[in-house]
Amino acid sequence: DGGITQSPKYLFRKEGQNVTLSCEQNLNHDAMYWYRQDPGQGLRLIYYSQIVNDFQKGDIAEGYSVSREKKESFPLTVTSAQKNPTAFYLCASNAGTSNQPQHFGDGTRLSIL
């Protein structure tokens, strides 16, 4: 059945290491999003993509990078420049219009070793 799959569920990063979080959707959605969730805070937008081969920075893009080579896939790389990467990362998608809800994956929990 259709949905968004994020992997891995748990990820550990060493100092100075880049790590990549996977997000795949089979909903045929044009738009995809990456959010960071910290305790007691609302979701904060890292990057979003409205269409293949195009993406835009969100509110907290520093230390992160993305690519959108396929409609189904929107991987997020957490680089060593991100000094406080410990968080719950959520990927979402929707049709890209302003009156449609976003559908979320089940998240990746990133921690520092």
Site residues (CB under 8 A) for another protein?
4, 6, 35, 37, 39-43, 45, 50, 88, 90, 92, 98-99, 101-107, 109
CB of 48 or CB of 64, closer to another protein = 48
Q: Which is nearer to another protein, 6 or 82 (CB)?
A: 6
Query: What is the longest distance spanned by two Cα atoms in the chain?
Result: 41
CB 97 within 8 A of CB 111: no
**Are 54 and 70 a contacting pair, CB within 8 Å?**
no
Q: Which is nearer to another protein, 32 or 90 (CB)?
A: 90
Output the smallest distance, CB 10 to another protein, in A: 10
CB of 69 to another protein, least distance (A): 22
Which of 85, 79, 92 is closest to 110 using CA atoms?
85
Q: Dihedral (C-alpha) 104, 60, 74, 89: value to the nearest 10 degrees? A: -40
Burial of 103 (0-12, 13-18, 19+ CB in 10 A): middle
Residue number, 8 or 81, with CB nearest to another protein: 8
Closest distance to another protein from the beta carbon of 76 (Å): 14
Give least dist CB 16 to another protein, A. 25
